[in-house]
Chain A
Amino acid sequence: MNVDKNELLHIAKLSDLKIDEKEIDKYLSNLDNILEYVKILEKVPIADLDETIGANDNINVFRKDEVKTFENRDALLNNAPEIERDMFKIPKVL
């Protein structure tokens, strides 16, 4: 096994996901299968290669720093599960 239960639960916590006790084995086996499969990459001669960062050669793409008003404010707020006085409502944090 490449990964154990404690590690899986740690990763789930980082992902803001809850894994049900009875699903743990399934997740472990799925994750293990794929981690086993990707070991194939150990064979690739990459020592001298750079990482590909970004999919194209654009660097430092700038545009003018201008404030633009989003006109469709109501449509935006209408998607929120809960609002109060035009603000997103969340549970108490303090």
Chain B
Amino acid sequence: MNITELTVHELQEKIKNKELTSEQITKAYIDRINEKENDVAAFVTICNDSLEQSKKIDEELNKENNIADGSLKGIPIGIKDNICTKGIKTTCSSKMLENFISPYDATVIEKIKSEQMPILGKLNMDEFAMGSSTENSAIKITHNPWNLNKVPGGSSGGSAAAVAANMVPWALGSDTGGSIREPASFCGVVGLKLTYGLVSRYGLVAFASSLDQIGPITKDVEDSAILLNVIAGHDEKDTTSYDRPKIDYTKSLKNDVKGLKIGVPKEFFGEGISEDVKAKLKESIEVYKSLGAEVEECSLGAVEYALATYYIIACAEASSNLGRFDGIRYGYRAKEFSDLKELYVNSRTEGFGDEVKRRIILGTYVLSSGYYDAYYKKAQKVRTYVKKQFDENFKKYDVLLTPVAPTTAFDIGQKKENPLEMYLADVCTVSINIASVPAISIPCGVGKDGMPIGMQLIGDRFSEEKLLNAAYTFEQKIKFRENYKPGFNK
């Protein structure tokens, strides 16, 4: 048995049946990390003490004659490096936070710890989650396990690459404009961006607070439902989190989509979307039809404006959120300065990378006197326009089906010098964050280049159960994981 090939729901069963111990599982993953980290470079921090934790958890598990169904005790996890972990570095892959050790846990980490899941390490990302390729990391460049010359996507590139390479059983990422879904698509794994407010953002280092949401990156849909059960819930420390009745999302996986109404917005299949991607998506539509779903073309014209809206709103919020990095209480401080103002300016100028500075400048510009109405206020109105179009569509359809990204994973270095071209990688994903709705990215096949292609299913707010069932039913039919595996090609 190759332990690291197993999904989390398979690991749960093995632990319950006493076929595997937590120590065996964690050891297998640490060995795998040691074997693959040189090639993939997914980790910012590796937590070797997770093995000690596993041994302690095993002592408890040994005493339990009947391990509870759904127990996650002893199953390890990887965490994107912008989610605060007490006592473990949280760098946001930035020189600014290179040595930052959070004095507290994010709410999602408290939940993970209460399940007794050891943390295997912190995963690489674009600096402060700004990017679509993980090339903006100040720490290292992560490589796509399917082809090491390609990017893993971003910003949760380390999380997606680590899951695809079996270096972690599952991981947490964060999604502001596609940062869970695009890397999941590029790496052939499942990524779930949740309804805004379903999961607490307390302890997630803020990029754009009205768009950010933490979510699972997993090997399959069932694992996403399991991890969602752990992290969802109201939190007093995040006033934008919703207080809703607790749901067991695994119960929504029915393997049946008969009568499910799927809309396919034609604007997502226009210019700029590669023929390869279009072809696989068309095949996927046929799969849904064969499973008894009702599929119909629809229109979501507002998507044309979503990317422009997104970059104005996200950068505006980022310019404000990143104002806190001043070299005083934590983070990088410049060596040379003559007064307090220069300390701020030099620390920020030296501590932030190019893309972060570019976005702070854009954000400050659109919020500045004279431009606020023309850019920021207008974008906030267009946000309403985008939301209304989604609302209209969800009166008719249960889910919308679109590509995740215009292409498969691109070459490392290919888009690095052209920020606008890089932003276009997010063209299919940002409208979802603008509208605060959930969406899932699941692999639907591979392109001519042998790289995975993702399908995106979008649901109305708080329709995660419907969304997960639609994804699960498709996954059970096409069995992507059984048919395709990353080859670590060089």
Q: Is the CB of B240 within 8 A of A14?
A: no
Q: A14-B368, A79-B330, A80-B329 given as contacts; is B305 within 8 A of A41 (CB)?
A: yes
Pair A17/B345 contact, Cβ less than 8 Å: yes
B140 within 8 Å of A (CB atoms): no
| Inter-subunit contact B361/A52 (CB<8 Å) | no
Which residues of A15-38 have CB atoms within 8 Å of chain B's CB atoms? 15-18, 27, 30-31, 33-35, 37-38
What is the interface of chain A mostly: helix, strand, loop, or mixed? loop
Flag if B384 contacts A75 (CB, 8 Å): no
Rounded to whole Å, the gap between the CB of B97 and the closest CB of chain A is 9
* B86 neighbours in A (Cβ, 8 Å): 72, 75
B101:A51 contact, CB within 8 angstroms:
no
Cα distance, A79 to B236, chains bound together (Å): 26
| Contact yes or no, B211 A55, CB < 8 A | yes
B473 interface residue (CB < 8 Å to A): no
Rounded to whole Å, the gap between the CB of B343 and the closest CB of chain A is 6
Chain B interface category by residue count:
35 or more
A91 close to B364 (CB less than 8 A): no
- CB-defined contacts of B319 to chain A, threshold 8 Å: 15
Pick from B25-33, B186-194, B371-379 the stretch touching chain A. B371-379
- B410 within 8 Å of A (CB atoms): no
| A55-B197 contact in complex given A14-B368, A30-B419, C-beta closer than 8 Å | yes
A52 and B308 form a contact (CB under 8 A): no
**Which residues of B are found within 8 Å of A56, using beta-carbon distances?**
196-197, 240, 242, 436
Q: List the count of A-B residue pairs having beta carbons below 8 Å apart.
A: 158
Interface size class of A (residues with CB under 8 A): 35 or more
- Give min CB distance, A25 to chain B, whole Å: 14
Which chain A residue has the least Cβ–Cβ distance from B369?
A: A14
Give chain B residues whose Cβ lies under 8 Å from the Cβ of A80.
328-330
Q: Which residues of B contact A69 (CB under 8 A)?
A: none
* Given A41-B305, A41-B309, also A75-B343 (CB < 8 A): no
Query: What are the residues of chain B within 8 A of A51 when measuring CB–CB?
Result: 377, 380-381, 383-384
B385 and A44 form a contact (CB under 8 A): yes
Residue contact B349 to A18, C-beta cutoff 8 Å:
yes
Chain B residue with Cβ nearest A56 = B197
A55 to B319, CA, bound (A): 18
CB distance from A18 to the nearest CB of B (A): 5
How close is B349's CB to chain A, nearest CB, in angstroms? Answer: 5
Q: A14-B364, A55-B436, A80-B330 are in contact. Are A38 and B312 (CB under 8 A)?
A: yes
B420 at the interface (CB under 8 A from A): yes
Chain A residues positioned under 8 Å from B343 (CB to CB): 90-91
A38 touches B419 (CB 8 A): no
Decide if B380 touches A53 in the complex (CB within 8 Å): yes
Contacts A56-B436, A80-B329: A16 and B420 contacting too (C-beta < 8 A)? no
Cβ-based interface call for B35 (8 A):
no
Are the C-beta atoms of B239 and A82 separated by less than 8 Å? no
Are A52 and B101 in touch, CB under 8 angstroms? no
Q: Which residues on the A side are within 8 Å of B357 (C-beta)?
A: 15, 17
Shortest Cβ distance from A75 into B: residue? B103
Quick one: closest B residue to A72, CB to CB? B103
Q: Which of A16, A43, A54 contacts B348 (CB 8 A)?
A: A16
Q: For the complex, is B297 an interface residue (Cβ under 8 Å from A)? A: no
Closest to B436 in A: A55
Pairwise interchain contact B240-A50, C-beta atoms closer than 8 A? no
Chain B proximity mask over A3-20: 1 for CB below 8 Å, otherwise 0:
100001001101111100
Q: Does B337 have its Cβ within 8 Å of any Cβ on chain A?
A: yes
A78 and B101 within 8 A (CB): yes
CB distance from B307 to the nearest CB of A (A): 8
List CB contacts (< 8 Å) of B160-187 with chain A: none
Sorted nearest first, the 8 A-B pairs with minimum C-beta distance are A51-B380, A81-B333, A75-B103, A79-B330, A61-B239, A52-B383, A38-B308, A46-B381
9 of the cross-chain contacts (CB-CB < 8 Å) are: A15-B348, A31-B365, A44-B381, A51-B380, A51-B381, A55-B211, A55-B436, A78-B103, A92-B339
Apart from A46-B381, A56-B240, what are 4 other A-B pairs with CB-CB below 8 Å?
A61-B240, A72-B104, A79-B103, A80-B329
